[in-house]
Structure 1
């Protein structure tokens, strides 16, 4: 945890907070560190696919609705764009004779066992891992993830030695988004980064906060600050205990 935090220029408490929050609220007691190593190996031999109603994600993103994403090379921008297209053009709609659920992109295509499932020490969604692939490749030197190879994506997420880089990259992305978009430095608040780790979509949330504060400023009202959810409250409440471990 210390090593990955240093690599991504964040306080280790951000990673600790994300893991503690996820394992307090999101995982049953059977998932211990040792079982993650065992599961990581088992995912390599399973027959996994990223698909919905028989349509593989690799084919799905070739649909014309995704044309605006085609020129994007960075993995974060590419998958963020595809997620926006999903929300705008497919989510909860019937397109070309197929009815699509009113659910998140990641829950619909990227969880072969049941919707809403996350994996590993950092309880990552495979879509988040795919988004972070280029940043992790650049900073940690890990191989880029391929959406056409779901087994390796799951193996990476499940392996505690690999997944922490993706946890750190996800947190770094949230911190950068809030600084550059909303003008808030959240790098000293593990409760906020744990909250964003839990709810996702940091850029959209930072943009919404900026829009709200633009309105407030115009009306002469005090600005709205970023807020923690119950994950964040737990992390900040227990921060002294967590710091003592490091």
Structure 2
């Protein structure tokens, strides 16, 4: 009789644990905020002056640059096939990749005439002799400073490099430390543009720092070698090669979606938000700030598109047509 009682208790306990797990899952599902499609603002947010200066320098307009990248995407059927394949591999809608490309080439660099130009540039950078340094100090050496010790326990390249980026902003950017004056530059601009300011990075305009952040994911999903700052040529090969660009863009978008999901926001249905994050970077920091704002009772409840992401949502029907799909 006692054995049967023990068995009954065991079964009841197991059932309770299963029910509890399901309840927790339901709570977590309910807690996830699905960011709706479309723009939060009826009008486009201000475009930075640097973008306007760049357009004027090349005697062009945003609309002309937009039409250039649209024409390239229509013309390059191989690229569109790569975009769709990369999107499927990283479990995202391909419109997120299209949005990232269109935003970059509308407001930053202009699309070149043919994909062959990107291949030539990739080869040139891959054979160059350079290192990632700031004021003569290699980034690998700089990261040995005690200020970065809090990052050593971070798991994975995304968490690790995001932490290092934040430490730079908090401890060095625009400050004088140990008698050294650090300019008010981002971590990316200080260390990862070894050739010149305003340097461009191929079809996807992927920065070396961002590539380092997603290298673990790209290694796991696509089998590419892990990137490290002591092999800068390998980083440039990957970010400049058009055949790899779609894969890295997909990984960057996937990483942003995952970072926001971890804080309770599903941004996967809003390509304007993912385009905004592709433009500004730092998805973990921004997701954490949004969650903190919501928790504090702030009026800020959802992520908001910047000028770059706003355009993507505004032109969504035309962009979806490139993929042979339409907005529901």
- Pick one of 13, 25, 33 that aligns with 2:115: 33
Which residue does the alignment assign to 1:46? 128
Partner residue in 2 for 1:58: 140
Q: Are 2:162 and 2:284, in contact at CA under 8 Å, matched by a contact in 1? A: no
Which residue does the alignment assign to 1:229? Answer: 306
CA deviation vs aligned residue, 1:53-98 (integer Å, no higher than 9, x gap): 1111111111222222223351111111111221121111122332
Paired with 1:162 and 1:73, the residues of 2 have a C-alpha distance of 25
5+ long unaligned stretches in structure 1: none
Query: Does the aligned pair in 2 maintain the 1:195–1:231 contact within 8 Å?
Result: yes
Deviation at 1:22, TM superposition (A): 0.4
CA contact (8 A) 2:272 2:313 kept: yes
Q: Which moved further from structure 2: 236-245 or 100-109?
A: 236-245
Residues 1:242 and 1:29: Cα distance change in structure 2 (over 3 Å): closer
Aligned to 1:88: 170
Written as runs of structure 1 = structure 2, the 5 A alignment for 1:133-212 is 133-181=215-263, 183-212=264-293
Distance 1:11 1:49 in 2: 36
Aligned to 2:70: none
Give the superposed CA RMSD. Answer: 1.6
Q: Distance in 1 between matches of 2:230 and 2:278?
A: 25
Contact 2:212–2:228 under 8 Å retained in 1: yes
2: CA distance between counterparts of 1:34 and 1:25? 22
Q: CA deviation at 1:29?
A: 4.6
Structure 1 contact 108–115 (Cα < 8 Å) conserved: no
Does the CA contact (< 8 Å) of 1:120 and 1:157 recur in 2? yes
CA 1:34 to 1:207, structure 2 compared with 1: closer, same or farther past 3 Å?
same
How far apart, CA to CA, are the structure 1 residues paired with 2:237 and 2:284? 27
Change in 2 beyond 3 A, CA 1:116/1:81? farther
Aligned residues of 2:90 and 2:254 also touching (Cα < 8 A): yes
Question: Which segment drifts farther, 57-66 or 5-14?
Answer: 57-66
TM-score, length-normalised on structure 2?
Answer: 0.70
Contact 1:107 1:117 in 2 (8 A): no
Give yes or no for the alignment of 1:12 onto 2:94.
yes
Q: Which residue of 1 aligns with 2:67?
A: none
Query: 3-state SS of the aligned residue for 1:114?
Result: coil
Of stretches 41-50 and 70-79 in structure 1, the one that deviates more from structure 2 is 70-79
- Do the aligned partners of 2:256 and 2:274 also contact (CA within 8 Å) in 1? yes
How many residues align? The count is: 241
Q: Distance in 2 between matches of 1:32 and 1:87?
A: 38
8 A contact 2:84–2:94 mirrored in 1? yes
* TM value normalised by structure 1: 0.92
Whole-angstrom CA distance in 1 between matches of 2:190 and 2:300: 36
Decide whether the 8 Å contact of 2:204 with 2:245 is kept in 1: yes
Q: CA deviation at 1:33?
A: 2.2
